[in-house]
Amino acid sequence: MQNTKRVILIVLDSVGIGELPDAARFGDEGSNTVGNIARQLPLRLPNLLKLGLGNITELGIGREEAPLGAYGRAAEASPGKDTTTGHWEIAGLVMQQPFPTYPQGFPPEIMQPFEQAIGTKTLANKAASGTAIIEEFGPLHQQTGYPIVYTSADSVFQIAMHEATIPIERQYEICQIARDLLTGRHAVGRVIARPFEGQPGAYKRTSRRKDFSLKPPGKTVLQSVKAAGKAVQAVGKIIDIFAGDGITEYVKTENNMQGVDRTLDYMQQQKEGLIFTNLVDFDMLYGHRNDVQGYANALMAFDRRLPEIVQALQPQDVLIVTADHGCDPTTPSTDHSREYIPILCYGQGLSKGVDVGTRPTFADIGATVAELLKVEPPEYGQSFANEICA
């Protein structure tokens, strides 16, 4: 096996490639984020195709006769389809129980202590679209100063507040109060600050969103890499998803292209270890809004940047491109979808055109990262490093 110095792990948030066998249990039968987009619109992804994306399964985007990368797909072993569960499983931690969800809103045993702790009433308390909820309750929020509390199909406690009504630091304080209260059987995956600005009829969410996640309840490959004295450089939402656990440095980003830029910046530093990037626009801006054209454009925009990443790789680097769940914009649902995720691996010392097959858990990725970097493996997952190394 090659002497790998660094792994660059890029999660294309929500870029699923087909329904899992149990998708119907989650209301996601027929979901296929990439495949269904390709059936509706021309989807040109020549650089992802070169790595083997079209060879994993039939996606309607073509195939590569001689892929430059190793490729495969992974099923989710954890009982969920949310961002936190997906990323934790990628890092080698399989959840045994799903996070709690609140499709009917949060019960009084949550809301009463929360309102008492923040010293004010709240608005909404229901499952809703983030853009729709601020249009509905934004004016009343600005009049009263009451935070807007809402959720989705995911395990999230979201709080929308206008930046001119409640200063951003106070918004973060309010969210931290919620995070501290939501424990035990009400331990939601994430509390999310959703700041917005503007006037009624023209509200716009700002880039100062902040996620307050639980700390991973078990061992991840991030912890192993850090414990081995190597760097764990997080780009985008990764710092929030892991609540800082196992991360040595991080940078926040405002969009996908900035995420690519910051990843390239870290690659120039040439530190040994792991660069872990989340590109969230696919999910946040397009999947949840059923914007098929926007999603397609975002995929093609990333594909155009992929050669820069490949060219920046050092001889002992390994690139892994994957996802954390689906969010099919072609279906009536605006929620995440229970899908397979792609696995694309590339490096100068890797075999070309190797099919690693269908992995039973996302955790195989974390186990592979651990073996490549020669650190202690996480509890879950079976490495496929021997299959991809020349």
pLDDT digits (tens, 9 = 90+) for 146-196: 999 999 888 999 999 999 999 999 999 999 999 999 999 999 999 999 999
Beta carbons of 266 and 225 less than 8 angstroms apart: no
Helices 108-118 and 168-181: crossing angle in degrees, nearest 10, is 140
Instruction: Find, among 352, 321, 246, 371, the residue nearest to 8 by Cα.
Output: 321
Residue-wise pLDDT tens digits, 233-267:
999 999 999 999 999 999 999 999 999 999 999 99
Instruction: Find, among 273, 311, 237, the residue nearest to 50 by Cα.
Output: 311
Residue-wise pLDDT tens digits, 271-325:
999 999 999 999 999 999 999 999 999 999 999 999 999 999 999 999 999 999 9
Full set of structural domains in the chain with CATH: 6-93+216-388 (3.40.720.10), 108-213 (3.30.70.1250)
CA distance 379 to 51: 29
pLDDT of res. 1: 54
What percentage of residues in the chain have a pLDDT greater than 70?
A: 99
The encoded tokens of residue 327 equal 């969010």
Q: What is the pTM of this model?
A: 0.89
pLDDT of res. 2: 67
Helices 292-312 and 33-40: crossing angle in degrees, nearest 10, is 120
CA distance 316 to 79: 35
**For residues 5-16, average pLDDT:** 98
CA 205 to chain centre: 19
Bridge partners (DSSP) of residue 126 are 150
- Tally DSSP H helices, then E strands, for the chain: 14, 14
How many Cβ atoms from other residues are within 10 Å of residue 112's Cβ?
10
Q: Dihedral of CA 165/290/340/29: which sign?
A: positive
pLDDT of res. 6: 98
CA distance 109 to 227: 40
**For residues 69-92, average pLDDT:** 96
**For residues 47-57, average pLDDT:** 98
pLDDT of res. 228: 98
Identity of the amino acid at 138: G
Specify the DSSP class assigned to residue 214: P
pLDDT of res. 129: 87
Bridge partners (DSSP) of residue 276 are 9, 234
Sheet bearing 355-359, strands edge to edge: 249-251, 231-235, 273-279, 6-12, 317-322, 341-346, 70-74, 355-359
Residue whose entry in the numeric block shows the structure tokens 């039973």: 360
CA distance 14 to 322: 9
CA distance 180 to 83: 20
Which uninterrupted H or E stretch holds 87?
helix 83-90
At 207, the pLDDT band (50, 70, 90 cuts) reads: confident
SS3 141: helix
* pLDDT over 80 (residue 390): no
* pLDDT over 60 (residue 90): yes
Burial 19-43 (b: 16+ CB within 10 A, else e): bbeebeebebeebbbbbbbbeeeeb
**For residues 119-123, average pLDDT:** 98
Identity of the amino acid at 359: R
At 329, the pLDDT band (50, 70, 90 cuts) reads: very high
* pLDDT over 70 (residue 131): yes
